[in-house]
Amino acid sequence: MAKQEALKAQVDALRSSIPELKGVLLASSEGLPIVQSLANGADPNRMAAMAAAASGLGRRISDSMSVGALQEIAVRGDDGVLFVYAAGPKAILAVVGPQGCNAGLIHLEARNTAQEISQLL
């Protein structure tokens, strides 16, 4: 299986394992989308850029606070939540869920997916 297909399979598996998710996107740390499974109307370029910006800021905070390498970031809003996970040194995994979603299940599944993706890259 080609790398792109394997990455797409990981993203699709995560999205299907938690049906309430609004979207899953894998992006480069520079903010370019690699593969995605998003709800209708979601712009993968915008989501990738925003997730990369959040990740970059998180990395700088982690470094300056001496708490080790960035693992994940959570952004909660009135209507939903965005989790951004490090997927190796050059990629990020962004997961969008509705308000009140099962964050524990999302973390469990997404952390494993991010780890598997980091090994593929």
Encode pLDDT of 16-46 as tens digits.
Answer: 999 999 999 999 999 999 999 998 788 999 9
**Two tokens, residue 38:** 């998003």
Q: Is the pLDDT of residue 99 over 80?
A: yes
Confidence of residue 52 (pLDDT cuts 50, 70, 90): very high
Provide mean pLDDT across the span 106-121.
93
- Quick one: DSSP state of residue 93? E
Q: Could you give the CA distance from residue 77 to residue 94 in angstroms, rounded to a whole number? A: 15
- The pLDDT of residue 22 is 93
CB 53 within 8 A of CB 83: no
Q: Which of 96, 80, 97, 91 is nearest to 114 (CA)?
A: 91
CATH 3.30.450.30 at 3-120, yes or no? yes
Confidence of residue 1 (pLDDT cuts 50, 70, 90): low
Q: Could you give the CA distance from residue 44 to residue 32 in angstroms, rounded to a whole number? A: 9
Q: Could you give the CA distance from residue 104 to residue 18 in angstroms, rounded to a whole number? A: 11
Provide mean pLDDT across the span 61-87.
92
- In the chain, what are the domain boundaries? 3-120
Supply the mean pLDDT for the chain: 92
- The pLDDT of residue 101 is 92
The fraction of the chain above a pLDDT of 90, given in percent, is: 84
